[in-house]
């Protein structure tokens, strides 16, 4: 049976790089994206050029019922789901004293609940297959906490707890669940940060990371090379959270 990998947030940034890298090891790549049709179409072209079939699905990962329907359809179309990469994420930064309730709820809704929704609706298929690899994209913010990002840090710390609990719960079914924790990576999410920023200076490697450097790790964790690794959180951060 052909191998199928689903990558949320796969149209751009880290998810895009992961989708293209995973195309080297899977026959079918499904990217899930929120709004940018053009970016999704362009990424699909790059996936095909890398040697896999590509499909883009427009879906809000924060919507429990919509995710359920979409996973049922993907399972019908591809026969099985082998790899799930939860990369969709948003920020709504601001000081806690001024943070709106909606800004807190939205970030938790996409980053944490969205990750739960995807895992929840893929797990029945993983369990039947007795096989599956889940990779969640958390952040160093979820490990060390960032001022101005209480909502985001909470959501990413939640993803770390979720990863470890899922790993323990599903290990007997042949399912592995790990997380990668990027530091500052050059994507649209960090487009406002300039090279001379003091945050960049605080990185021991003195530079931002590239999406491809995170994608390498995601691809490793997705593969059988990581067959004995589960419940692990690996930083890709140039040393900023040492
Ligand atoms: P990005 O903003 O370039 O990409 C985020 C992707 O998530 C977009 O493709 C967007 O369509 C998708 N998305 C957002 N909300 C969605 C929703 N409700 N449903 C479906 N898709 C949705 O961001 P980037 O930088 O590539 O980030 C990817 C992941 O890596 C995020 O989870 C982010 O929190 C995490 N991360 C990024 C870091 C960075 O420095 N860029 C550092 C640490 C973690």
pLDDT for residue 208? 96
Average pLDDT for the chain: 97
DSSP helix, strand, coil percent of the chain (3-state; round to 5): 50, 20, 35
Whether the predicted pLDDT of 194 surpasses 90:
no
pLDDT for residue 148? 97
Give exposure, 41-63, as e/b (b: 16+ Cβ within 10 Å). Answer: eebbeebeeeebbbbbbebbbbe
pLDDT for residue 147? 96
Whether the predicted pLDDT of 185 surpasses 80:
yes
Beta carbon of 142 within 6 Å of any ligand 1 atom: no
Q: Measured from the CA of 109, which atom of ligand 1 is nearest?
A: 18
Mean pLDDT of the region 34-42: 98
pLDDT for residue 184? 96
pLDDT for residue 193? 80
Beta carbon of 137 within 6 Å of any ligand 1 atom: yes
Structure tokens, 162? 């979720």
Distance from the CA of 33 to the center of ligand 1, in angstroms? 10
Beta carbon of 15 within 6 Å of any ligand 1 atom: yes
**pLDDT band for position 192 (50/70/90)?**
confident
- Whether residue 152 lies in the annotated active site: yes
Whether the predicted pLDDT of 22 surpasses 80:
yes
pLDDT for residue 225? 98
Whether the predicted pLDDT of 198 surpasses 90:
no
Beta carbon of 185 within 6 Å of any ligand 1 atom: yes
* Ligand 1, atom 41, residue with closest C-alpha: 185
- The residue that leads in pLDDT, 197 or 75, is 75
pLDDT for residue 207? 95
**Beta strands of 173-219 (E only): which ranges?**
175-182
pLDDT for residue 136? 99
120-177 pLDDT, tens per residue? 999 999 999 999 999 999 999 999 999 999 999 999 999 999 999 999 999 999 999 9
233 burial type by CB count under 10 A (0-12 exposed, 13-18 middle, 19+ buried): middle
The predicted model scores a pTM of 0.98
Question: Among 141, 186, 156, which residue's Cα sits nearest to residue 88?
Answer: 156
Structure tokens, 124? 């029945």
pLDDT for residue 28? 98
Cβ neighbors of 80 (< 8 A, separation 6 or more) are 1, 4, 125, 129
């Amino acid at each position: 049976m052909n191998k199928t990998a689903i990558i949320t947030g796969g149209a751009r940034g880290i998810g895009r790089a992961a989708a293209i890298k995973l195309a080297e090891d899977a026959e079918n790549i499904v990217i899930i994206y929120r709004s940018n049709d053009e970016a999704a179409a362009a990424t699909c072209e790059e996936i095909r050029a890398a040697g896999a079939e590509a499909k883009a699905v427009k879906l809000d990962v924060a919507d429990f019922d919509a995710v359920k329907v979409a996973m049922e359809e993907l399972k019908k179309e591809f026969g099985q789901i082998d790899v799930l990469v939860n990369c969709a994420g948003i920020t709504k930064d601001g000081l806690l004293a001024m943070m709106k309730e909606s800004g807190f709820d939205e970030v938790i809704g996409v980053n944490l609940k969205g990750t739960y929704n995807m895992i929840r609706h893929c797990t029945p298929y993983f369990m039947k297959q007795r096989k599956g690899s889940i990779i969640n994209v958390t952040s160093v913010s979820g490990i060390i906490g960032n001022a101005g990002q209480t909502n985001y840090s909470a959501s990413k710390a939640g993803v770390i707890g979720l990863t470890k609990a899922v790993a323990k719960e599903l290990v007997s079914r042949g399912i592995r669940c790990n997380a990668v924790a990027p530091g500052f990576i050059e994507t649209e999410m960090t487009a406002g940060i300039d090279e001379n920023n003091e945050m960049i200076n605080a990185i021991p490697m003195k530079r931002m990371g590239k999406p491809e450097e995170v994608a390498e790790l995601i691809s490793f964790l997705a593969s059988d090379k990581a067959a004995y690794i589960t419940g692990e959180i690996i930083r890709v951060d140039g040393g900023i959270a040492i």
